[in-house]
């Protein structure tokens, strides 16, 4: 439900075209900009889990999305997020060309480096960047700037105000080195589930419990 559907494709002379389903809703970036970036923790975790499931399905089909960002997430009228824009997608294991565009703040470091390998952890970075944008009110610092040594505030700086496990999951996904991030989207989603379970336990705890 969180991947845009292909309705048709064909060729008109030298032009190849695709027809995608119409999503009746705005994009996540516009929503956050108009609302001051505020998304309640419960809603944000729900949204991120849905996106993680969608990206896991993309990976299971043998592809990387490679351009995960709020502007490429549309929100249906019922609140379900939908991933769009597969223009940067590549089969897992295939090398990107130098002409491939990368979105600063959301592109993983390896997408800027000619000798670095991309994999599921590359899309994990994009998911973490979406979480960071929602938690911190701004996009992460661009990967090239971080690689040059420029400091970026952590999502964990907002822990206490925002859900701690959620902040920790965002920072984990944004590790500069790919091997230090979750290696699969499922691993990252499990970290989000810890936050869901913790919040559910807190709601069930009797009044006055420690």
Is residue 67 part of the annotated active site? The answer reads yes
Helix, strand, coil % over all residues of the chain, rounded to 5: 45, 15, 45
State pLDDT tens for residues 142-162. 999 999 999 999 999 999 899
Per-position b or e across 100-113, b if 16+ CB within 10 A of its CB = eebbebbbbbbbee
The predicted pLDDT at position 171 comes to 97
Q: Is the distance from CB of 83 to CB of 25 less than 8 angstroms?
A: no
On the question of pLDDT at 3 being above 50, the answer is yes
State pLDDT tens for residues 65-84. 999 999 999 999 998 999 99
Q: Which residue has the higher pLDDT, 139 or 115?
A: 139
State pLDDT tens for residues 158-170. 998 999 999 999 9
CA distance 167 to 159: 6
Angle between helical axes of 41-60 and 164-173 (0-180°, round to 10): 30
The DSSP symbol for 140 reads: P
Q: Which residue has the higher pLDDT, 95 or 163?
A: 163
Q: What is the mean pLDDT of residues 99-105?
A: 84
CA distance 192 to 171: 12
In whole angstroms, how far apart are CA 16 and each of 11, 21, 86?
Answer: 4, 17, 15
State pLDDT tens for residues 27-68. 999 999 886 657 899 999 999 999 999 999 999 999 999 999
Q: Is the distance from CB of 48 to CB of 173 less than 8 angstroms?
A: no
Exposed, middle or buried, 98 (CB in 10 Å: 0-12/13-18/19+)? exposed
Exposed, middle or buried, 71 (CB in 10 Å: 0-12/13-18/19+)? middle
CA distance 210 to 194: 19
Question: Confidence class of residue 210 from pLDDT cuts 50, 70 and 90?
Answer: very low
CA distance 149 to 143: 10
Among residues 54, 109, 60, the alpha carbon closest in space to that of 83 is found at: 54
Query: Among residues 67, 123, 163, 171, which one is catalytic?
Result: 67
Q: What is the pTM of this model?
A: 0.89
Antiparallel, parallel or unpaired: β 81-83 and 73-75:
antiparallel
The predicted pLDDT at position 94 comes to 87
């Amino acid at each position: 439900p969180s991947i845009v559907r292909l309705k048709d494709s064909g060729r008109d002379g030298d032009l190849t075209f695709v027809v995608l389903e119409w999503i009746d809703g705005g994009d996540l970036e516009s929503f956050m900009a108009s609302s001051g970036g505020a998304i309640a923790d419960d809603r944000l975790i729900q949204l991120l889990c849905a996106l993680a499931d969608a990206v896991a399905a993309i990976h299971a089909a043998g592809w990387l999305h490679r351009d995960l960002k709020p502007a490429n997430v549309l929100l249906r009228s019922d609140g379900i997020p939908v991933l769009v824009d597969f223009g940067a997608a590549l089969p897992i294991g295939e090398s990107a060309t130098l002409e491939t565009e990368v979105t600063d703040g959301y592109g993983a470091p390896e997408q800027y480096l000619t000798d670095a390998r991309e994999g599921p952890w590359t899309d994990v970075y994009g998911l973490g960047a979406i979480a960071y944008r929602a938690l911190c009110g701004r996009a992460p610092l661009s990967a090239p700037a971080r690689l040059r040594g420029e400091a970026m505030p952590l999502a964990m700086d907002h822990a206490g105000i925002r859900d701690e496990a959620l902040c920790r999951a965002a920072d984990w996904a944004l590790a500069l080195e790919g091997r230090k991030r979750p290696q699969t989207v499922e691993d990252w989603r499990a970290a989000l589930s810890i936050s869901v379970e913790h919040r559910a336990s807190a709601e069930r705890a009797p009044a006055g419990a420690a």
